Structure 1
Amino acid sequence: MSHSHATRERPLSPHLTIYRPPITMTTSIVHRITGGALYFGTLLVAWWLTAAAGPQDYFEFVNGIFGSWIGQLVLFGYTWALLHHLLGGIRHLIWDTGAGLEKHTASKIAWANVVGSVVLTILVWVVGYMVRGG
């Protein structure tokens, strides 16, 4: 039994290969992810502070972990997550006042969130390096 008309495939729209998520949606998702990551990072900060209050050799052990390349990478990521989440919170605070909700303005604020978090993270690390005498 043959059909007299060709079978049409159903459209898969919006498909990830053709749909570009708006920057506001992307930063909203990243804001949630960084919020979760901050829980883990804050545990690391608490570990370091607890070690600082304990025996010298234990502090040196923990400090050595944070001073390793992987420790520095984790701390760099924690710094970025903290600053990105902070700026995202400010972005939402602005929106809560009713300002910046127009699509064009909201996109600009979202991009400022992304660029600002990267620039501030680099600035924090450069200043920290300079203060330590690097």
Structure 2
Amino acid sequence: MSEAIKDPTRKPRREYRNIHIGELGQYRMPLSAIVSILHRISGMLLFVLLPFILYLLQESIRSEISFAHFQGIAQHPFTKLVILAMVWGYMHHFCAGIRHLVMDTHVGLDKDSARKTSVVVLIISLVVTLLVALKLFGVF
């Protein structure tokens, strides 16, 4: 009976359905979801590279000769890009982790606050990475 009487001024309800793999290109994720995915990626990057970083640290503090050797390796542009990726991974993971800790206290869970905090995480991590890049490539 209720289907027979429809209000013409009422907007139709939005349909939520599962996304097919072919529709992923048209799906627009919210910024907070992108920051959350990048948080997972940066965490994985840090986890995978941690043994390598610790090995390089161990070898660089072994002697003055090994330190000079690694200093020469660090001057290569590809190595600088790898260092820059690790700096971005650390900064993004750190900032997004603080965001998640604050959200665990039930602060900033609404849509606008989540969008604002995700923008802040992206800006802070990218600005710090840019500053490190400028220092790393000798601009200042």
TM-score interval (norm. to shorter): 0.7 to 0.9
Q: Does 1:27 align with 2:52?
A: no
Cα 1:121/1:90, change in 2 over 3 Å: same
Alignment check: 8 A CA contact 2:84 2:132 kept: no
For residue 121 of structure 1, what is the aligned residue in structure 2?
Answer: 129
For residue 87 of structure 1, what is the aligned residue in structure 2?
Answer: 95
State how many pairs are aligned: 122
For residue 110 of structure 1, what is the aligned residue in structure 2?
Answer: 118
Cα 1:90/1:12, change in 2 over 3 Å: closer
TM-score by length of 2: 0.74
**How far apart are residue 12 of structure 1 and its match?**
7.9
Alignment check: 8 A CA contact 1:48 1:59 kept: no
For residue 49 of structure 2, what is the aligned residue in structure 1?
Answer: 41
Q: Does 1:65 align with 2:63?
A: no
Which letter does structure 2 place at the counterpart of 1:18?
Q
**How far apart are residue 43 of structure 1 and its match?**
2.9
CA distance in 2, matches of 1:129, 1:12: 46
CA distance in 1, matches of 2:81, 2:89: 12
Alignment check: 8 A CA contact 1:76 1:121 kept: yes
Which letter does structure 1 place at the counterpart of 2:33?
M
RMSD: 2.4
CA distance in 2, matches of 1:12, 1:96: 28
Cα 1:127/1:67, change in 2 over 3 Å: closer
Which letter does structure 2 place at the counterpart of 1:119?
V
Deviations 1:68-95 (A, max 9, x none): 1111000011111100000000110110
Worse-superposed segment, 12-21 or 114-123: 12-21
Alignment check: 8 A CA contact 2:92 2:125 kept: yes
Q: Percent identity?
A: 30
CA distance in 2, matches of 1:16, 1:52: 45
CA distance in 2, matches of 1:44, 1:74: 12
CA distance in 2, matches of 1:23, 1:62: 39
**How far apart are residue 116 of structure 1 and its match?**
1.1
